[in-house]
């Protein structure tokens, strides 16, 4: 039995996330976690809310609430929505937890003792209109490298170049829009990433089979321009983890907090401690400390491409620089962006479908299937209502749902709600068994390699094989001439249903459970397909399930297209 530690990029606390956020980290991570559990492996799947920094402060101010209260409420909202989508986290933590406070301050201490933190007197952007220093992400301007007009103060999302706010052309505050900015002196702590460049590069080179998207971004940050730069790990903010050296004060850093991108990845570890302290687990160290048994853990991270630099460089620099036996990531599965109907998702413009809205109009499995089967693995993908309708109706309703409905209803009408006796499987059934045996092994290979779209395509082909068998066997015609042969055909087709449910559970868990419940069996991963197709012997009772998937009508599609179009320029 293998052990899999799985983490999803932790979402910001400020609001409900859209479908692009979901498919870029949490949903494929859940797919992998569910699959590994189905295969009988031990899994610890962790996620949390990212609660520090200016985004939380601004969102709380807009909501008219104290920031701590706002974060507590939004954590509950995000946890509830995640549960609605069937995201099977072993623990959904909070970066504001006491465990993360203590662990972040510990890392700062050991990194300082290792000579990897330096104090810098610097000037930073100060907005007179806002009465505050502006974090890099809250300064926008034109990128000096590519000319993109909405580059942030820390990075250009268009060309991914790492920036300093003073490099921006025509900078402005994203809080107030004010251009009345000036540089003022302040002191901050920097993580000396540059001192670890060679070690980080060597470590990245030892990672096997990483996606090209992941390695290309990491290498670009390592070698672009002047190479890997030291990075500030403190900010002039009120909300966050106070800057301390472990339990001791840090002279000169009074009133400052750690930068959100320093403490947020550390929450992955703290989340496991929260999991234990919540009574859900009994030993977090065996997952995270190589001196406590974590050396045999396979650690996989899931994230959008914008998070890759921090997870391939900054967080590993923290772990490696500590000199302590922490578990490092083995594989980073990164994703491109999901766009919405010819443009981008936009919270401010109400453009696109957000997670709560999605669940209000259709069950989670509709969304899970479409998003995962269109995951933006090798390039950006696009959501359109036409494509969504087409794929839901074709894949879920016409292929899978129709198969289950036809088989169970025909059996009920001719043989009752028990698996019929009579007949033996012949060449038709053997041919399907051979095809499914090949396809199941191929499906496993794609899932093991976290090839999401290929896995979905193979799963659909497995569903199609059952429909093609049903069409060719035509038990409704066979029954007229040879009821015993028809019984064998239906017995074979009925046994495909729990097989399909088990294989489909990582993608569409709610529907898979309905299928298993109706058949009166538990999910069991097929080692041998032929044996798996004998789980329900003659006489085994079953129920005809309700229609698994309703088709999306043209009227629904047009209504949703209009409702979620948002405000256009």
The token duo for 416 is 């009752």
Instruction: Let me know if residue 335 belongs to a domain.
Output: no
pLDDT in tens, 210-258: 988 899 999 888 887 667 889 999 998 889 999 999 999 999 999 899 9
Residue with tokens 């799963």: 459
**Whether 111 contacts 321, CB under 8 Å:** yes
**Whether 446 contacts 503, CB under 8 Å:** no
pLDDT in tens, 327-360: 999 999 999 999 999 888 988 788 999 999 999 9
Tally of domains within the chain:
1
Residue 569 is predicted with a pLDDT of: 45
Residues 487-511 have a mean pLDDT of 98
Res. 471: pLDDT tops 90: yes
Domain that holds residue 418: 386-532
CA distance 541 to 121: 75
Instruction: Let me know if residue 347 belongs to a domain.
Output: no
| Angle at the Cα of 394 from the Cα atoms of 393 and 398, rounded to 5 degrees | 85
pTM of the model: 0.92
Instruction: Let me know if residue 82 belongs to a domain.
Output: no
Residue 226 is predicted with a pLDDT of: 66
Instruction: Let me know if residue 559 belongs to a domain.
Output: no
Instruction: Let me know if residue 357 belongs to a domain.
Output: no
Contacts of 497 (CB under 8 A, 6+ apart): 404, 407, 408, 515, 518, 519
The token duo for 476 is 């409704």
**Whether 125 contacts 153, CB under 8 Å:** yes
DSSP lists the bridge partners of residue 338 as 381
How does residue 552 score in pLDDT terms, banded at 50, 70 and 90?
very high
pLDDT in tens, 426-453: 999 999 999 999 999 999 999 999 999 9
What is the SS3 assignment for 451?
coil
Burial 531-562 (b: 16+ CB within 10 A, else e): ebbebbeeebebeebeebbbebeeeebeebee
Instruction: Let me know if residue 164 belongs to a domain.
Output: no
CATH for 449: 1.10.730.10
Cα-flanking dihedrals φ and ψ of residue 184, to 5°? Answer: -125, 155
Alpha carbon separation from 344 to 18, 155, 408, 535 (Å, rounded): 11, 19, 43, 47
CA distance 90 to 43: 8
Task: Read off the DSSP letter of residue 145.
Answer: T
CA distance 210 to 333: 7
How high is the mean pLDDT of the chain? 94
Instruction: Let me know if residue 158 belongs to a domain.
Output: no
CA distance 135 to 174: 10
Quickly list H helices, 278-421. Answer: 285-288, 308-309, 315-322, 355-361, 364-373, 385-391, 402-415
Instruction: Let me know if residue 2 belongs to a domain.
Output: no
Of 369, 300, 309, whose CA–CA distance to 19 is shortest?
369
């Amino acid at each position: 039995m293998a052990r899999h530690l799985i983490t999803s990029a932790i979402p910001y606390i400020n609001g409900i996330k859209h479908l692009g956020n979901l498919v870029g980290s949490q949903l494929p991570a859940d797919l992998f976690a569910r699959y590994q559990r189905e295969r009988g492996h031990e899994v610890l799947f962790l996620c949390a809310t990212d609660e520090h920094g200016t985004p939380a402060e601004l969102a709380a101010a807009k909501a008219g609430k104290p920031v701590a209260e706002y974060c507590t409420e939004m954590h509950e909202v995000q946890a509830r929505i995640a549960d609605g989508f069937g995201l099977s986290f072993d623990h959904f933590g909070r970066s504001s937890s006491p465990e993360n406070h203590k662990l972040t301050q510990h890392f700062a201490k050991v990194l300082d003792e290792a000579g990897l933190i330096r104090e810098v007197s610097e000037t930073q952007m100060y907005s007179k209109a806002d009465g505050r220093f502006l974090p890099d992400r809250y300064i926008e301007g034109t990128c000096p490298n590519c000319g993109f007009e909405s580059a942030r103060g820390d990075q250009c999302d268009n060309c991914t170049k790492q920036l300093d706010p003073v490099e921006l052309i025509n900078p402005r505050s994203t809080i107030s829009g004010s251009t009345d900015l000036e540089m003022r002196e302040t002191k901050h702590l920097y993580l000396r990433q540059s001192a670890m460049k060679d070690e980080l590069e060597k470590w990245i080179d030892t990672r096997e089979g990483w996606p090209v998207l992941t390695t290309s971004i990491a290498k670009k940050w390592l070698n672009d321009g002047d190479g890997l730069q030291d990075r500030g790990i403190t900010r002039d903010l009120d909300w966050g983890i106070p800057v301390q050296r472990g339990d001791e004060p840090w002279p000169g850093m009074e009133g400052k907090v750690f930068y959100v991108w320093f403490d947020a990845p550390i929450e992955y570890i703290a989340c496991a401690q929260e999991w234990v302290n919540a009574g859900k687990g009994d030993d977090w160290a065996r997952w995270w400390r190589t001196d406590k048994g974590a050396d045999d853990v396979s650690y996989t991270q899931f994230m959008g491409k914008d998070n890759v630099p921090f997870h391939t460089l900054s967080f590993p620099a923290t772990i490696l620089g500590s000199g302590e036996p922490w578990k490092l990531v083995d594989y980073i599965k990164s994703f491109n962006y999901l766009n919405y109907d010819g443009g981008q998702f936009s919270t401010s413009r109400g453009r696109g479908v957000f997670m709560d809205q999605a669940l209000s109009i259709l069950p989670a499995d509709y969304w899970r299937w479409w998003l995962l089967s269109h995951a933006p693995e090798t390039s950006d993908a696009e959501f359109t209502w036409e494509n969504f309708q087409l794929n839901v109706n074709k894949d879920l309703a016409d292929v899978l749902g129709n198969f289950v409905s036809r088989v169970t209803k025909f059996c009920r009408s001719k043989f009752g709600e028990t698996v019929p006796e009579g007949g033996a499987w012949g060449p038709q059934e053997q041919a399907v068994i051979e095809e499914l045996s090949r396809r199941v092994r191929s499906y496993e290979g794609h899932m093991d390699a976290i090839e999401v779209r290929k896995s979905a395509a193979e799963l659909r082909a497995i569903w199609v094989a059952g429909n093609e068998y049903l069409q060719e066997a035509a038990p409704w015609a066979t029954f007229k001439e040879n009821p015993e042969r028809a019984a064998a055909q239906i017995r074979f087709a009925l046994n495909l249903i729990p097989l399909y449910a088990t294989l489909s559970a990582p993608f569409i868990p709610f529907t898979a459970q309905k299928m298993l419940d109706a058949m009166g069996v538990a999910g069991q991963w097929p080692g041998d397909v032929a044996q798996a197709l004998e789980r329900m012997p003659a006489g085994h009772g079953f129920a005809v399930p309700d229609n698994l998937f309703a088709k999306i009508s043209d009227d629904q599609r047009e209504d949703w297209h209009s409702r979620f179009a948002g405000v256009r320029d």
